[in-house]
Amino acid sequence: MNLILGVHAHQPVGNWEGVFEWAFERCYGPFLEVLSRFRGVKVAFHLSGPLLEWLVANRPSFVERLGEMLGDGRAELLGGGMYEPILAVVPERDAMGQLEMMSSFLERTFGVRPRGAWLAERVWEPHLPKLLAEAGVEYVFLDDRHFVCAGLEESELVGHFLTEHDGRRLSVFPISQKLRYIIPFKDLDLLSEHLRGIDGAGIVFDDYEKFGLWPDTYEWVYQRGWLERFFELLSEGSIRSFLPSDWIRLNPPRGLVYLPTCSYVEMEEWSLEPRRALLFRELLDEVKGRGEGPLSLVRGGHWRNFLRKFPEANRLHKRVFWVSALVEDMPEGEERRKAKVEVYKSQCNDAYWHGIFGGFYLPHLREALLKHLIRAEAIALGRRSLVWTFDGDSDGMDEILVVTPRVGFTLAPSRGGALVELTERSCGVSWSNVITRRKEHYHLMAERRERAISSAAEGGIATIHERTFELGDVELEEDSRPRLFLSETLEGQDGLRVSLEDVRMTPHFLDEFSFQMFPRCRNPLVDLGFSHKSVSLVDMSLIIKYHFEGAPRVPLKARLSFSLSVSSRDHLVFRAGGLSVVPGLDGLEVG
């Protein structure tokens, strides 16, 4: 019996120091401590760039011990994008740059260049073999889901395959979903039974955090001794552990495959709109009763759907492309290198998506990416100011971007000249780091009580995918409109209510930082006597005026709604005359 075992560890850019420390004490450190006692066990590791930088700076003994295992041939390191981007959706130059940055970092730290690479969230698109091969990558790990969706049988997925794009070849290992759900959650008898039925190698490369951070796993893996027994089993010799490079050297590939755009099956569910995701889950449950074969014919969404599902993530994603191009045009030198690193950090995947994992709803992760993006932009532009008209979210409508050394903002003429983004560039703060309240598919699920499924017959504990959690009697409020930094509504008599966001406007440029926006056609605003809207930047003041032709024809109320990001207590948020709003421990202080 053969096993290729790997663990992937990641902490996102911008995560709290305490999370790094907690994860190390309960997971990363104890796992390596136990493994180091079993010299016959071989494990592949992928440590993401943010975590690896933290380990080098804060836990050098861990790095030293891992280096010793590498030298003894007991471990192998995989590279990847330095700051854990989804490689398929960042500019190709940045993908290549991140792969090289990670490989160079590993070579400086451990004295070896990686042969394999980890793909964040195993997001695969068919053009990747060429990019990876040109970056010096020889192999990657993907899910068995990719392979069965390409028409292969599950029984075939017991070794590595070859794929190619434009003549550039790459080895790919299929990760077994069954083994992902067995290790470390079930008794070892079930693992042995599964491996006995494999003519080749069982392949599992999954989250390091399963060994101590996932619910109940610290007690199960360490205090109740599962990990110790697991490595004892591998040391006995009935199950041989292999490093990926050794397996490729000793065994021929299983054939040529062409894999579709794909990730693990859970991602196909999470990336769908709520009602479609719920339908997909119900369909999977129905088809599971008919065996493994039909499951491959049921397909859900893919990672790029998050850019449609979350417009806030889409705007950030498109802004990264724009800033990356600015940085690319800089002259060679240290400033350009610094700016590129800031761009790379803004591409860390977590804040762009949401599932059981993902960090879109975590404001400190979004804030960190925005801060790094603002820094990259500031380095690239220096003291220059810029006014740029471009389609900043790929919706077919142009926005107006204004950037000065101290402030930046974006106007959307197609949405009534709405102010959709405001940044204070001098301190790297985005005041518009807010998101729309929306339902996810788990809000629609009929089952609301907490349920941890752990099969008593098989023994073990539940995986994080086998748990549901009670929402309780919480009133879930959903926004009827996307949250913008500034939303404007005019209210008249007899319930008349007009949102400027519904009115497409044509912009006219008065000077560098002054604009007028006129309604494109007759609409309820015109009936109210509205003429146009003007926006001017004067020093650090953004002046917005609403113009009417003569007196309004009916009594009007103007409702201005600001959505301010207040995630950092040490920032001044808003000041107007003698009024200031400052975040505090118990909310906002107004004075």
Cis peptide before 311 (omega within 30 of 0): no
Specify whether the CB–CB gap between 176 and 144 falls below 8 A.
yes
- The 3-state DSSP class for residue 423 equals strand
Amino acid symbol at 284: L
Helix crossing, 363-381 with 334-346: angle to 10°?
A: 160
Taking Cα atoms as reference points, which of 441, 128, 126, 150 lies closest to residue 299?
150
Specify whether the CB–CB gap between 145 and 10 falls below 8 A.
no
What is the rounded CA–CA span in Å between residue 343 and residue 410? 20
Q: Tokens standing for 300?
A: 């859900």
Q: Is the dihedral of CA 199, 205, 208, 212 positive or negative?
A: negative
Q: Tokens standing for 344?
A: 């790379």
What is the rounded CA–CA span in Å between residue 156 and residue 203? 12
Specify whether the CB–CB gap between 349 and 87 falls below 8 A.
no
In the set 107, 138, 156, 207, the catalytic residue is 207
The question of whether 207 is a catalytic residue gets the answer: yes
Contacts with 472 (C-beta within 8 Å, 6 or more apart), sequence order: 448
CA dist list (Å): 143 to 20, 336, 382: 27, 37, 44
The question of whether 502 is a catalytic residue gets the answer: no
Q: Tokens standing for 534?
A: 């003007």
Phi first, then psi: what are they for 588, rounded to 5°? -100, 135
Specify whether the CB–CB gap between 208 and 7 falls below 8 A.
yes
In the set 121, 143, 266, 421, the catalytic residue is 121
Q: Tokens standing for 585?
A: 């421990």
Active site residues: 121, 207
